[in-house]
Structure 1
Amino acid sequence: MDWASLLNLGRLGDPSYAEEPHRPIYVQDSDRIVFSQPFRRLANKTQVHPLYENDHLHHRLIHSIETASVGRSLGMSVGHWLETQKHIEAGQKHAISGLVYAACLAHDIGNPPFGHSGEAAMGEWFEERLDGAKGIFGAVEASHRAEFEQFEGNAQGFRILTRLEMYRNQGGMRLSNGVLATFAKYPVTAYVKSSVRESYCGLKKFGVFEAEREIFEEVALATGLRAESSPVGVSWWRRHPLVFLVEAADDICYSILDLEDGFTAGDLSFEAVRSHLEPVSGVPNHQREDKTEIEWISYLRARSIGASIHSCVEAFIENYDSIMDGTFSNSLIDTCSKNKEFYGIKKVSRERIFTARRKTELEVSGRNTIRQVLDGVLPVLDELKTKNWDESKLSDYNGKLSRAINLDFRDAKDSYHALHVLCDFVSGMTDRYTLKVARMISGN
């Protein structure tokens, strides 16, 4: 892969667009993301702690902004190195940081309510219905089942960016090809992923729905991503090199800030958090002086982020050749000099934060709330199928329900696309709105 193609700033859906003087396209891309409704909704979507009343804990919007800040710093450092090594032209380091910043802003834009437990709840619900294959589910091809049964926020995010938001079905937000390729952590569809036996980090999950496969092919071709064949005759692609920086920014933020949130929420003691952050930050406890526990944790968090950025930049440089030829198959966090410290942080998060009682109780509640909404909306789609996808012929109740929750049927032209309409609606809800719709449907 070469940077001349990888930094392609042509707009999806608007290739003739001319860049404004002194306002690069990747800056415009960031603005389009920030001012979009899907980005705004992240303010009421779970990061780790669902429906928490403590305003100092992270939600998806704050996490996305912080991740973008870290991603920009990673991009600046890597871009500077690329310029000094003559891998890119003078001045293109700004494009490197700009693409990473925009992709980081959008990296969680497709996540459903209640975090990863919401993804699991949606996938579980679809798997149960597709096994029965009744009603609308009976017409879904076997090759399309996996993208519902393993519902993936990354693929939903790509769908939002390229199809649903702004210019619907005409390029979506019309972001640059470079930003879209940098966003694509898993450049493969669910069906192709299931057929490929190679072990590669970009195949860990899927990041493109079949409905957007041709769109991604256009992005991949424009940016020169390395294409690979599959047993089912459809390509998958190696990651854009800057994806590793987006992934590192996310890893740095959620790992370190989950600890800070764990302390704020009372799930972790001061000593537990301090013992994990001090080795990352390189700052010994005897420098604490007169700082309070909260102040010291905040200080360690800031220093740890800075040290982690430096370590991940070094890892990118050390693995540059394999990243560029598409054979690097690890995360920068797991490869960098701080990998042992991050392993310890992730271990304590799994054992102490993700299993905290209040969090677990709310995840169970969130799962059942999502299922209640899906169960309540499904009859509308089942009837719509029998009425040949004509929403004007819906029964009185189903018509009222679809209007009350503003269901958008414009793309519901068959069972496959109708199920994506359902996913678009449910994954787009905030935690609070999911509870509201569930109560309305149940009458409580």
Structure 2
Amino acid sequence: MSYKSKWKLILDEKRFRDKSHTIESDGRNTFENDYGRLISSAPIRRLQDKTQVFPLEQSDYIRTRLTHSLEVSYLASSIGQSIENYLLKKKELDFDLKGNLSSLLRVAGLVHDLGNPPFGHFGEEAIKKFFSNYFSENQTTLSKLEKADFKNFDGNVQTFRILSKLYYFGDEFGYNLNYSSLASIIKYPSNSVDGNKKPTTEIAKKKFGYFVTETATYKKINDYLKLGNRRHPVVYLLESADDIAYSAADIEDGVKLGIIGVKDIEEIFSKKLDKNKKDVLENLEYLKSMYSKAPNVDTSLIIQKFRIFTQKIMLEAIVKCFEENYDDIMQGKLEDEIIDISDAKDIRKAYKTLQFKVFDEKSILKKEIAGWEAIYGLLDIFVKASKSDSFQANGNNLEARLYKIISSSHRKVYEDIENYSNPEYKKLQLIVDFISGMTDTYAIRLFQELKGIKI
């Protein structure tokens, strides 16, 4: 298949069922239609109270998963527009598909963190640790693959489940998104046993991309789009946008909270930069001279402008690197993230070093530990209850009461939509669906209520 044919295949209309009728004047492309389905939904709204870096932060300046996702959505769309211009010049893209790639990336950026549990990656670790301990201490009917789904729980995999099934919108197809919208967030196209190989040189095996309950869904998408169990080309671009967004933004937030300062940034960038050292440090020096002593201006303005400058360099480097690695990306054979082999890799490394300084802030660590306790504790309460036959809607005992606390939308999918054959796996997945979907605040509050700490 030619690359032009591949672009036509992955940017065209294809869903699990025909989309609902729209008005004749609707000028949206297939991915803008997806964006409309997503933007007003509850899982998107819950991102406003999920941790990006600073858990339970009271400052309205600091980014949440929602504001981060909006930034990634814009950056990804911007990259898509640049790539489209490149493809049109090469005559690799039909002109009637212009706009589809940037719209697809806009959707992918919006939803890329949708499945992250409360308290971000530390929340993921709490879930993984709970089930590693649980399976070592309890007899279970689960297979090696089924256990691996829980022991390697990943927010990206949960995102695929939410988008393809878990969000009940009237039938078993959930949002009924375009195949490419769904494929764009499968970063590691392997199951939980074939994936999670460490160390590995295959990027598709680094983690995993779908639970056993979504295997058939993934296979249909993979076969139709002819991906060959490799990454969709758009995944590389989405990852780049995410890297650009969070690396710089986390530092900007850290400065605003007083965790790091301009001096820290100057020191780290001086040590870590090579290719971009002159331009970046000169820009920082220029911004300091312009705004350090300006009336009614604080340090955050310097950092905002510095972020914009460095993000521009990274965006240009991503587009250039895409062009240079076009064949491997189109075949899903590039075994690196684009940012890590681009001309801006030194900027990314410098920001990453600064991130660790932010992440080790004691106020963050204490809230993350509190979040861990809440998630681990909630899993313990609900999983113990699920072992009883009374863990169902009919009844008034403890287990039935806990079952009825689970949101009705999750119970609807569990009872009427999810047809997986292992009932124990289904119960555990219902619990993980519920807890991983919570906001930070709700997880803490529900744990306190169920433990009698706060009524």
Q: Pairwise mapping of residues 375-390 of structure 1 onto structure 2 (< 5 A)?
A: 375-383=380-388, 386=389, 390=392
Q: CA shift at 1:133, angstroms?
A: 2.5
Q: 2:238 aligns with which of 246, 249, 262?
A: 246
Segments of structure 1 that go 5 or more residues without pairing to the other structure are 228-236
Contact 1:187 1:208 in 2 (8 A): yes
- Aligned with 1:81 (options 75, 78, 86): 86
1:36 — aligned with what?
41
Give the corresponding residue for 1:337. 343
Give the structure 2 partner of residue 432 of structure 1: 441
| Alignment match, 1:233 | none
1:341-352 equivalences in 2 (<5 Å): 341-350=347-356, 352=357
The equivalent residue for 2:172 is 170
Quote the residue 2:419 is aligned against: none
Identical aligned residues as a percent: 29
Moved more, 10-19 or 151-160: 10-19
Q: Which moved more, 1:2-11 or 1:81-90?
A: 2-11
| Structure 1 residues 310 and 340: alpha-carbon distance in aligned structure 2, compared to 1, 3 A threshold | same
Shift of 1:199: 2.1
SS in 1 for 2:427: helix
C-alpha distance after superposition, 1:110-135 (max 9, x if no partner): 0000010000001100111111224x
Q: Deviations over 1:195-250 (max 9, x none)?
A: 8996222221112111001001111122221x2xxxxxxxxx11011111100000
After TM superposition, the structure 1 = structure 2 runs for residues 155-304 of structure 1, keeping only pairs within 5 Å, are 155-167=157-169, 170-193=172-195, 199-225=201-227, 227=228, 237-274=229-266, 279=277, 283-287=283-287, 288-290=289-291, 292=297, 293-304=299-310
Asked if 1:4 corresponds to 2:8, the answer is yes
Are residues 1:397 and 2:395 paired?
no
Letter in 2 for 1:255: S
Distance 1:244 1:371 in 2: 33
Report SS of the residue matched to 2:387.
helix
- Of the candidates 357, 365, 390, which is equivalent to residue 360 of structure 1? 365
Tell me the number of residue pairs that the alignment of Structure 1 and Structure 2 aligns.
Answer: 426
SS of corresponding position for 1:54: coil
Deviations 1:75-131 (A, max 9, x none): 000111011101111142311101111011000000000010000001100111111
Distance 1:70 1:441, change over 3 A: same
> Measured at CA, do residues 400 and 123 of structure 1 come closer, stay the same or move farther in structure 2, by a change above 3 Å?
same
Letter in 1 for 2:63: H
**How far is the alpha carbon of 1:39 from its aligned partner?**
0.8
- Which aligned pairs between 1:28-177 and structure 2 lie closer than 5 A? 28-134=33-139, 138-167=140-169, 170-177=172-179
Q: For the Cα contact (< 8 Å) 1:252–1:308, is it kept in 2? A: yes
* Amino acid in the other structure paired with 2:10: L
- CA distance in structure 2 between the partners assigned to 1:367 and 1:377 by the alignment: 16
Contact 2:108 2:181 in 1 (8 A): yes
Native 8 Å contact 1:68 1:101 kept in 2: yes
Bigger mean CA offset, 256-265 vs 274-283: 274-283
Matches of 1:374 and 1:179, distance apart in 2: 31
**Is this contact kept in 1: 2:8–2:97, CA < 8 A?**
no
Contact 1:274-1:297 within 8 A present in 2 as well = no
Query: Which stretch shifts more, 412-421 or 332-341?
Result: 412-421
TM-score by length of 2: 0.88
CA distance in 2: counterparts of 1:306 and 1:400, whole angstroms? 53
Is contact 1:10-1:17 (8 Å) kept?
Answer: no
Q: Distance in 2 between matches of 1:54 and 1:337?
A: 35
